[in-house]
Structure 1
Amino acid sequence: MSLKDSSLLEILSERLIKPFSPTPPSLRSYKLSRKDQMMHTRYVPRAFFYPADNNPEGKDRSSLTETETFELLQTSLSKTLAYYYPFAGRLKNNSFVDCNDMGVQLTEARIKCSMFEILKQENSHLKDLVFPRLFFTDVIPAECSLLIVQVSFFNCGGVAVALCASHKVMDASTTCNFMNDWSSMARTLNDHVPTPLFNGASLFPPIEDSKCSSNYQLKSPKPPESCITRRFLFQSAKIDELKNIAVNSSGVCNPTRYEVVTALLFRCAVAAAKANSGSFQPSMLSNTVNLRRLTVPPLPKDSVGNFLTSFPVSATIESHMKLSDLVHQIRNKKLKLHEEYNKGNDGAKDDIPSSQCAKADHEVASERFDQFYHCSSSCGFPFYDVDFGSGKPVMVCDTNQTGAKNRFFLRDIRDGDAVEAVVTLDPTDMYFFQGNEELLAFASLNS
């Protein structure tokens, strides 16, 4: 965020929001699961934008002043935290959360411009004004909130609600559930009853050895300054074209949006790296998936924490980088992962025994592959259903801060089945990537 941008921001108030009712002593200690332990502690950002005239169902927002709106959001947040009580606690030694009701940091801010002045500049850092300032720190102190929230009021009457959640306790599914529960609480106050399920540690027992659990934790992904992030939009018609190509050439039945878009991104990124270096480099792509949907029967969608696993897709020779081969490999690896997690009710096949310390995917990949990529997705999660009482958001997005190198992140846009891919690469790789004719036949640079 530049000094020029920060002049548009005025902090009106900062406070800690505690759960509406005290957490009982019997629930004071919330154990992290093994999957929680391996996650980094950095905040994962998401912002929801609501314009002043966002009333498609005739809702009368004009009856609430800014003060009343902020009071409603504050009270409903407090009531929601009574159900999600660990989020108001503090992390202890990568082992547990002390559910001490210290609270969640809530900032009230004014942004001295119109909301659409920010939204129309897709790649501008102006959007970062809606995120709490603590998000932009490299290291999160242990005494800080696991969640930080900022409510920003624009000159036009629009409102942005930004949540930054520590990945230590929340994945995308948990974040989506929390935001929908909070917004439902704001609409009803007393009629909505959230049902979070704190079952992570029972399904994936934590590593008890303190030294090993510390080593097991992933390092926070600190992006190198030289990387560049670009956004590419895949319209639904173009995704259908990709699916038809995949069906005809790979034999995969009903390929998903994720499978075809990810395969194309990986193919074009490896081609860009070749154009940069002068030769093909053996490459691996790690794909993060939601474990809740992987098991039979599926784990409850209200399960709180990190229920993530991953599978690799790789190519050691260039002839294996055909789109059809990659889609086929992604499908087969997903099916294999599904089988492993449902064999004899013995989950956590990808977990490292508690007596050992883990190596991160990128460390393993660096021993065999010259290039390592990572893809994750929030597609299919109902983030656009988060309605605090004035309608659904016109945009849900993350920060414009540069991501970690060789990362793809897929997300929904508000209307239809289109997908936006957020891609971070080395600057020279990005030069070749964004000019790739095959990529541009299916996607447009979303500037």
Structure 2
Amino acid sequence: MNLNVEITSRDTIKPSSPTQPHLSPINLSLIDQFSLNAYVPLLLFYSNSNATSNPTTKIQSLTNSLSKALTKFYPLAGTINGDNLTIECNDRGVLVLVARVTNCHLSQVLSCPDLEQLDQLLPTKERDGKSLFAIQITSFVCGGMVVGVYINHKIGDASSLSFFLNNWASIARADEVVIEGTESPVYGFEYLFQRGQQVPMLMGVNEKRERLASRKFVFHSSTIAALQAKHSIDKAPAKSPSRVMAVTAFLWRIAMNTEEKQESSISNSIKPTFMEISINLRGRMDPPLSDHHFGNLSVVTTTPISNSTTVSSGSTESELVEHMEGLVRGIDSDYIKRLQSGDEYLVLIQSMEKAEEMFARGAAARYTMSSWCGFPFYGVDFGWGRPLWLTLSAVLDYKNLFLLTDTSCGEGVEALVVLSEEHMERFVNYPEIVALFGLED
């Protein structure tokens, strides 16, 4: 179904109290500098659980509470400098678009979501590379509502976005107990990860401007249990992998197999494949940091895998799980201390430059996995109940991406897969994908 989305208003919401001059600028840390200057989209879908509350009342509540929330989360109302060194907390404000869908109910969208159509529920045209946050609030004729947000990755990671949204929601529902019990965000981690003057652009962005395709695959708990059981049989008595690892290994193996078919028709050589995994450092530091540390406190770590190890069997997935689990174990407090000291910084620069050169000449392939599982996005209640569904949209211009989120029940995994159009065609028609999810229309 084609959505008829009408923008009814646009406004710039500023902090209810001016940001003090001594709080600006915020220096970017080394990890911030490595992060893409790209916008991460999130959509939260809400039913009309409170029939007495009309959309206008809800929208007014959202904008009023946003202004209050920005007094604590003032960097979101600022801008990024072009030097990749600082965030200006200048109270420029957050753009808020208000829209309505006039030709369908929310239930019709949720019954068969079209990722490309859902992009209309985001402030897609407002990305200028300098602003850090934007919102679109869209109401449906049934009273349902969607809150779509963009956050610039330079200002924060998934943990930061979750922390902000839950704080904003607590203010919207006037939950004074939650508000008073919430610690204020902490900004600026240059003291933890000293910034560099020259940092190469992180790989993964679609620099060649290939036509990309995005598909969502829902792994229910029973499917995940079957994937985990294959590993348990193969590696008994080792414990089963996590649901994130099991799903990622399955997707990665099939992606490599379908990529390999393309390469084998061109050359007899086998491409090495790199898997990049984003890892939250907060709980791995010594001492650990709490979730109210707002910014980029995640690193991307990489492992090389040869396609020659890829076969269509559970044992291959087990090998991939072992590689990924080894990567995660390697990001410990000792590694973080080396990163903080600057020793690991040079290693990161060298490895990035080498990988970039390999990717540029087509000598290697790269996949990226980022998991948002476990972050309390389904707890974002603005006073109308928890979200019915949440998703990241199809506008991510990032090739070979696996982005995982929880299902609404918290037991399954939704995987957003982004590949080139040609690769996606082979991927969705791979026998195991067809068996689990059916043929692509």
Would the TM-score normalized by the shorter structure come out above 0.5?
yes
Contact 2:24 2:89 in 1 (8 A): yes
**Alignment partner of 1:363 out of 337, 356, 369:** 356
Measured in 1, the distance between the counterparts of 2:439 and 2:71 equals 43
Aligned residue identity for 1:263: A
For residue 304 of structure 2, what is the aligned residue in structure 1? 314
Q: Name the CA distance, whole Å, in 1 between partners of 2:63 and 2:165.
A: 13
Query: Counterpart in 2 of 1:57?
Result: none
Shift of residue 394, structure 1, vs aligned partner:
0.5
Gaps of 5+ in 1: 55-60
Matches of 1:272 and 1:305, distance apart in 2 = 36
Separation in 2, partners of 1:230, 1:294: 32
Q: Where do residues 319-334 of structure 1 align in structure 2 (5 Å cutoff)?
A: 319=309, 322-334=316-328
* Equivalent-residue separation in structure 2 for 1:360 and 1:397 (angstroms): 33
Alignment deviations for residues 126-155 of structure 1 (CA, whole Å, 9 cap, x no partner): 2122111435x5xx253xx31001111111
Aligned twin of 2:335:
341
RMSD in angstroms over aligned alpha carbons? 2.9
**Pairwise CA distance, 1:87:** 1.0
TM superposition shift of 1:83:
0.4
Aligned position for 2:276: 286
2:102 is equivalent to residue 114 of structure 1:
no
Match of 1:229 in 2: 214
2:259 equivalent in structure 1:
273
- Residues in 2 aligned to 1:233 and 1:30: alpha-carbon distance in whole angstroms: 39
Match of 2:415 in 1: 421
After superposition, where does 1:176-215 map in structure 2 within 5 Å? Answer: 176-188=162-174, 192-193=179-180, 194=182, 195-207=184-196, 209=197, 212-213=198-199, 215=200
Task: Give how far 1:422 is off.
Answer: 1.4
Aligned to 2:233: 248
Shift of 1:44: 0.7
Task: State the 1:348 CA deviation.
Answer: 7.0
Which AA in structure 2 matches 1:363? E
Q: Output the CA distance in 1 between the equivalents of 2:116 and 2:285.
A: 40
Which of 112, 122, 128 aligns to 2:119? It is: 128
**Whole-angstrom CA distance in 2 between matches of 1:433 and 1:306:** 32
> What letter matches 1:200 in structure 2?
F
Cα distance, 1:257–1:287 mapped onto 2, change above 3 Å: same
The question of whether the paired residues in 1 share the 8 Å contact of 2:29 and 2:190 is answered with yes
Give yes or no for the alignment of 1:9 onto 2:15. Answer: no
Deviation per CA, 1:276-316, whole angstroms, max 9, x where unpaired? Answer: 23254321211111122333443211111111112223323
Matching residue within 363, 373, 384 for 1:379 = 373
**SS of alignment partner, residue 200 of structure 1:** coil
SS of residue matched to 1:359: helix
In structure 2, the CA distance between the partners of 1:109 and 1:417, relative to structure 1 (3 Å rule), is: same
8 Å Cα contact 2:6-2:100 kept in structure 1: yes
Distance 2:262 2:350 in 1: 36
Q: Is 1:25 aligned to residue 21 of structure 2?
A: yes
Tell me, yes or no, if the aligned pair for 1:276 and 1:428 is still in contact at 8 Å: no
Shift in CA distance, 274/141, structure 1 to aligned 2, threshold 3 Å: closer
In the superposition, the TM-score normalised over structure 2's length comes to 0.87
Percent sequence identity is 30
Q: How does 1:398-413 map to 2 (within 5 A)?
A: 398-401=392-395, 403-413=397-407
Which has the higher mean CA deviation after the structures are superposed, 304-313 or 171-180? Answer: 304-313
Using a 3 Å threshold, how does the CA distance of structure 1 residues 305 and 357 change in structure 2: closer, same or farther? farther
For 2:390 and 2:342, how far apart are their aligned partners in 1? 32
Pick aligned residue for 2:61 from 56, 67, 72: 72
For 1:160, what is the secondary structure of its paired residue?
strand
CA offset at residue 124 of structure 1?
4.7
> What SS class does the counterpart of residue 172 from structure 2 fall into?
helix
Q: Distance in 1 between matches of 2:156 and 2:258?
A: 34
Q: Distance in 2 between the 1:365 and 1:337 partners? A: 24
Cα distance in 2 between the residues matched to 1:270 and 1:421: 17
> Which residue does the alignment assign to 1:84?
73
**Conservation of the 8 A alpha-carbon contact between 1:238 and 1:443:** no
Alpha-carbon distance in 1 for matches of 2:212, 2:201: 27
Q: Which moved more, 1:331-340 or 1:38-47?
A: 331-340
- Tell whether 2:51 aligns with 1:62: yes
One-letter amino acid matched to 2:192:
L
| Structure 1 residue 19, shift from structure 2 partner | 0.8
The gaps in structure 2 that reach 5 residues or longer are none
Range 30-39 or range 251-260, more displaced: 251-260
Name 1:96's counterpart in structure 2. Answer: 86
Return the alpha-carbon distance in structure 2 between the equivalents of residues 383 and 285 of structure 1: 26
**1:183 aligned counterpart, secondary structure:** helix
Distance 1:400 1:219 in 2: 15
User: Would the alpha carbon gap of residues 98 and 431 (structure 1) be closer, same or farther in structure 2, given more than 3 Å must change?
Assistant: closer
Do the aligned partners of residues 81 and 158 (structure 1) sit closer, same or farther apart at CA in structure 2, a change above 3 Å counting? same
Residue 48 of structure 1: how far off its partner (Å): 0.7
Mark the CA change 1:236 to 1:141 in structure 2 (over 3 Å): closer, same or farther.
closer
| Count of residues paired in the alignment | 426
Q: Residues 359 and 282 of structure 1: is their aligned pair in 2 closer, same or farther, counting only changes over 3 Å?
A: closer
SS of equivalent residue, structure 1 residue 82 = helix
Residue 425 of structure 2 is aligned to residue 431 of structure 1: yes
Q: Is the 8 A contact 2:280 2:298 kept in 1?
A: yes
CA contact under 8 A between 2:258 and 2:423: conserved in structure 1?
yes
Letter in structure 2 aligned against 1:288: S
Name the structure 2 match of 1:304: 294
- For residues 361 and 266 of structure 1, the distance between their equivalents in structure 2, rounded to whole angstroms, comes to 22
